[in-house]
Amino acid sequence: MGIKEQPKLPQFRIVANILLAVSGLFLLLNLFLPGLFASGPTGVPYSLFIHQVQEGEVSRVSVGQNQIIYQLKAENAEPAQVFATTPIFDLELPKLLEEKGVEFAATPPPKNTWFTTLLSWVIPPLIFIGIWQFFIARGGGGGGPQGALSIGKSKAKVYVEGESAKITFADVAGVEEAKTELVEIVDFLKTPARFTQIGARIPKGVLLVGPPGTGKTLLAKAVAGEAGVPFFSISGSEFVELFVGVGSSRVRDLFEQAKKQAPCIIFIDELDAIGKSRSSNGFYGGNDEREQTLNQLLTEMDGFAAGDATVIVLAATNRPEVLDPALLRPGRFDRQVLVDRPDLSDREAILKIHAQKVKLGDDVNLKAIATRTPGFAGADLANLVNEAALLAARNLREKVAQEDFAEAIERVVAGLEKKSRVMNETEKKIVAYHEVGHAMVGALTTGNGRVEKISIIPRGMAALGYTLQLPTEDRFLMNETELRGQIATLLGGRSAEEVVFNSITTGASNDLQRATDLAERMVTAYGMSKVLGPLAYQQGQQAAFLGNGGANPRRAVSEDTSKAIDSEVKEIVETAHEQALEILRQNRDLLEAIATQLLETEVIEGEKLHDLLSQVKPVANS
């Protein structure tokens, strides 16, 4: 499908008309005011004028505000010469002229003639009309009265079947449940009689909900491609303007265009830009433009008559909790379709689709790549394939190899390598023990993925080294023991610094932040505290978004409860810290051996790393 574009008015016509008008104006001025372009009297310095007055050569003077014009005395029957000079502030000039017997007077102020008065009334409106028509031609894309009102016209892009390659469900993978829900929409658009003859009513609106990058927009285009109907695509932010009423006008225009081309699909991306709850503080400064736009959208969706039933509204958002309840009620958005992050099999299917566009080597195992990319959305996987292809081209390979995908995963997860960042020997040694501490504690505690790589090569913005852990399977639930194991792993780097150097550095700041956040969620959201019990002290998602900010704001609790929460969080973190210290002290020799080897090679990975970590000895009650 392609986008329809209206032809634009050639700009040279406007320029030619302006030049013609200016030329005609000059001709008229030269005809009616010939003296306007005539040459004036010869200009001379003011000092020469004073000298001629003192010598008695001047007969009469006309003193003006910006110019002095004077006439010399006639000699030998020759015509008197007229000169002009620029005046200066000279209070002695009238006295000097009177002493020398010079006839002088002040120049009267200029009077407007009938022609200049006419020009003053005609020229400004003509200029205004010319500028107005220029903007009409630009805004309307072809002139006419519609251009003047184009600010209220819909900016939706219209995709029509047959103008370019269309997108179908075959181009979308990893969202099989969502595609099953949308197949019914496609069937209705193709054969509406099959549904209407038994009294069934197709949903007027379908809301696609999911994290960014999961393919909501792609799914909407696939629905239009499968159904073979026009597809109006617009972002929610394109409705909102500075002037009140523009957004609602664009909503009306969009639905009018859609009804003319029914059956069709209207797709509104980022619906939360105009659909925020009216009871929240989402509208600021008393400007109700966004609220009027939402009200018009509610009216249009609720006002479909029987003949308009083949206009279906698809919308996408990643923040459904902030949408107005009136927008989500049956009769408007009747159905919500979850477009979630793909699981292992879905990630492999997505990789197969994107891998068709690149040349793969024989050693590429897409299932292994899908296993190493938990939590990746469809957009992340597309970027991963592209990064791997770029790496292969940079290394002058004709096909993409498995090692290119491995490096691309590390780039996406940890950032680019920064070998130019040179650390001194002391810092390098601290980083090595820090990363080995993470790996050893992570290898012995539950709830962590398998340690695949340790590196002391700086990556990303501030990472001086990193430990790469990859899960062996998709997990959706975690128990308290596994969460405590994750906290202990996060504190393993700081604990290794304490065991080896008997001091700590700033390198564990991010680890401490993540460990504290996880412990606080255990207490306030997951109810994993024997002291506080199975209560939720964390605000819900909607309150968190509309509240005082922050990722996990607490509810309003008493001072004693707040102290108890802080005490429980501290106990969880300190217990995990002691667990990490015990593991590293019990395996001090292995810690030294792995760190020494890491300082020599800078990277340890694969089976070699697995063999080393298999030697970690558990401690009692660890």
Question: Virtual CA dihedral for 322, 328, 333, 339, nearest 10 degrees?
Answer: 50
CB crowding 607-617: b at 16 or more within 10 Å, else e: eebeebbeebe
- Sign of the dihedral defined by the CA atoms of residues 174, 178, 180, 185, in that order: negative
Identify the helix (H) or strand (E) that includes residue 315. strand 311-317
Token look-up 């299917």 returns: 349
At 319, is the secondary structure helix, strand, or coil?
coil
To the nearest 10 degrees (0 to 180), the angle between helices 216-227 and 176-190 is 30
For residue 54, the number of C-alpha atoms closer than 13 Å in the C-beta half-sphere is 8
- Sign of the dihedral defined by the CA atoms of residues 34, 36, 37, 43, in that order: positive
452 catalytic? Reply is no
The arrangement of strands across the sheet holding 205-209 comes to 2-3, 157-160, 231-235, 264-269, 311-317, 205-209, 335-338
291, 410, 435, 520: the active-site residue: 435
Integer Cα distance of 331 and 217 in angstroms: 23
Residue 417 β-bridge partners: 459
Token look-up 């007055």 returns: 53
Query: What single DSSP character describes residue 149?
Result: G
Query: What single DSSP character describes residue 554?
Result: B
Separation of CA 316 from chain center: 16
Check residue 360 and give left, alpha or beta (phi > 0: left; psi -120 to 50: alpha). Answer: beta
At 25, is the secondary structure helix, strand, or coil?
helix
597 Cβ contact list (under 8 Å, min separation 6): 604, 612
The CA-based diameter of the chain, rounded to the nearest angstrom, is 133
Integer Cα distance of 352 and 375 in angstroms: 17
38 Cβ contact list (under 8 Å, min separation 6): none
529 Cβ contact list (under 8 Å, min separation 6): 522, 523, 568
Integer Cα distance of 388 and 265 in angstroms: 36
Task: Tell me the C-alpha to C-alpha distance, in Å, between residue 270 and each of 247, 262, 322, 513, 545.
Answer: 15, 23, 12, 31, 16
Task: Tell me the C-alpha to C-alpha distance, in Å, between residue 603 and each of 322, 453, 465, 497.
Answer: 46, 7, 10, 19
Separation of CA 396 from chain center: 34
Token look-up 């062996």 returns: 472
Which residues are annotated as catalytic?
Answer: 435
